[in-house]
Amino acid sequence: MLRYPKLLALTAGALSATGFAPLELWPVTLLCFALLIELLRSAPNARGAFSRMWLFALSHFTVGLNWIAHAFTYQDSMPHWFGYGAVVALSLYLAVFPAVGAAVVSLATNKYPFASSAVEKRSSERANTRISTSLDTNGISFVFLSAAAWIATEYLRATMFTGFAWNPLAAIWVPIEPVAREAAWIGTYGLSGLTILAAGGLSLLLRRQWTAAALVAPIALLALIPVPHSPATGPHIRVVQPNVSQDEKQDVAAQAAHIRQLVRMSGPPSDTAPRILLWPEAAIDNGYLLEEEPGLRRFLMKAVGRADMLLTGGIALEYDKAGRAIGGRNSVFALGPDTQIHARYDKAHLVPYGEYLPMRTILTPLGLSRLVPGDLDFWPGPGPKTFDIPGIGPVGFQICYEIIFSGHVVDPAHRPLFVFNPSNDAWFGSWGPPQHLAQARLRAAEEGMTIVRATPTGISALIAPDGRLLGSIGPHKAAVMDARLPAPLPPTLFARFGNLLPALLALALAAFGVVFRLRRR
């Protein structure tokens, strides 16, 4: 028997988070999940499986999401130590999803998940030292059902109560590009399920179940499917990263200087080689409103040639009939050399407690309104939409946090040439930005779509339609990136069917688990 299972679960969960960026120790994650499978199979009942998985997931999320605490160092209206409590509180909630899945699997595989025969059961109860080399159909059934449960609970975590999809398990494969590209066939949640399958195969391999080790094969075989590279035949772009920290950004008096810096870094306008200038999220902020200040738009035209287009983050306000501001929009504006705004995209998936306060009438008296800067909430936009922009063509937008939601980044009825993902990761320390980039790369691979990220402090990046990183500007650098956009690939299988694919995969895995269970009986 594994001694001190709860302590083992807590320790393994913390170590498993090292597989995500920036550490990218994915073999450690795989080994930790293999140990988790062992811990869950040895649980005496569903309650034990729930508690072990909950402890594993609690430390897994707490370590992986440590960057959230860093954001509170910029929030002077709340104590900075509150950030660490917020990370743990969020992890306590997120851990419930996989824990419920583990309990369901335990119920489905009865009280003695180790027993592949009556003889082995009695032997394990007496000494627990024998290892069966025959086919462990109970173990295989458990692994298949665990993989199906992980897909289901990871999807629910990403969708329920506005969802928090950060760090899906599939993100550990981003450094291994052939594996990450499997998201084009089965989606991110499907790839997470295959990761559990591989970890389960590893756990059976360690038990000398050589035949069962074939469970690792699907993730290896899918990686062999070739993906064509897309030629860089699209428009020229210049991504501007001004390296304006969050402290500087919150200085209202310095906003004019920041705008001048963006204009200067954009370079002299060219009338012969048209470009797309890409500025970060909320690059125009702190009281400057593009829609209401034509003088500001004329100043910005110093960076825009006659054939250029500027895509920049900014803020729009909503007013009541009396002319009072009652809400805001986190937006991206497409600004042409004629000083006209040719498109405005409003962020649809807002960050609760960051961009708006849920249940404001209840939480404000408790003092929690201090979590949200300002007196107004942001209002959500309608969702993914493609805009036809003069001189560019169809462009999609996803602002910051929106890019993490698999299956919700592209309008399938009107595929764009590329998706622009302006972001502000200056809040999130050294762990948040590379994790954000990794998830954007998964979206590119899923959709077969070029994605361009522009951030104030890094990591700005150009991502190919197969998820490869074509160029980037590292953290805390003031720099520009000039490139030519690759054309999008034809719609991938995931682009056509979305999260129906991981749902079907989960059903297939569950069916295999039931078949092996019935075969044992």
Cα 288 from chain centroid (whole Å): 30
Cα 490 from chain centroid (whole Å): 23
Q: Which two tokens stand for residue 274?
A: 């048209």
Ramachandran angles phi, psi of 461, nearest 5°? -160, 155
Residue 82's Cβ-side half-sphere holds a number of Cα atoms within 13 Å equal to 13
Residue segments in the chain with a per-residue pLDDT below the cut of 50: 111-133, 362-370
Report pLDDT for 485.
94
Ramachandran angles phi, psi of 361, nearest 5°? -65, -25
pLDDT, one tens digit per residue, over 79-106 is 666 678 889 999 999 999 999 999 999 9
* 236-488 carries CATH number 3.60.110.10: yes
Report pLDDT for 397.
96
Report pLDDT for 199.
93
Q: Round to whole Å and give the CA distance between 7 and 9.
A: 5
> Residue holding tokens 């302006």?
422
Q: Round to whole Å and give the CA distance between 3 and 267.
A: 64
Please report, to the nearest 10 degrees, the dihedral formed by the alpha carbons of residues 277, 280, 282, 288 taken in order.
Answer: -40
Residues in the chain: 521
Q: Walk across the sheet containing 450-454 and list its strands.
A: 386-389, 393-397, 418-422, 450-454, 460-463, 469-473
Is 487 in contact with 417 (CB distance < 8 Å)? Answer: yes
Q: How many CB atoms lie within 10 A of CB 8?
A: 19
0.75 surpassed by pTM: yes
Q: 479-484 and 393-397: which strand pairing? A: unpaired
Is 203 in contact with 37 (CB distance < 8 Å)? Answer: yes
Cα 460 from chain centroid (whole Å): 16
Using the Cα atoms of residue 419, residue 70, residue 52 and residue 131 in order, give the sign of their dihedral.
positive
Is 410 in contact with 416 (CB distance < 8 Å)? Answer: yes
Report pLDDT for 104.
95
* Burial of 323 from C-beta contacts in 10 A (0-12 / 13-18 / 19+): exposed
Q: Round to whole Å and give the CA distance between 199 and 36.
A: 9
Q: Which amino acid, residue 338?
A: D
Is 402 in contact with 380 (CB distance < 8 Å)? Answer: no
Q: Where are the domains of the chain?
A: 5-226+499-520, 236-488
Q: How many CB atoms lie within 10 A of CB 131?
A: 11
Q: How many CB atoms lie within 10 A of CB 148?
A: 27
Report pLDDT for 204.
86
Report pLDDT for 117.
41
Shortest CA distance to 449 belongs to which of 460, 441, 458, 461?
A: 441
According to DSSP, the residues that pair with 389 across neighbouring strands are: 393
Is 449 in contact with 415 (CB distance < 8 Å)? Answer: yes
Q: Round to whole Å and give the CA distance between 158 and 151.
A: 11
- Give SS3 for 344: strand
Q: Round to whole Å and give the CA distance between 267 and 279.
A: 13
Shortest CA distance to 452 belongs to which of 435, 429, 471, 466?
A: 471
Q: Round to whole Å and give the CA distance between 395 and 508.
A: 36
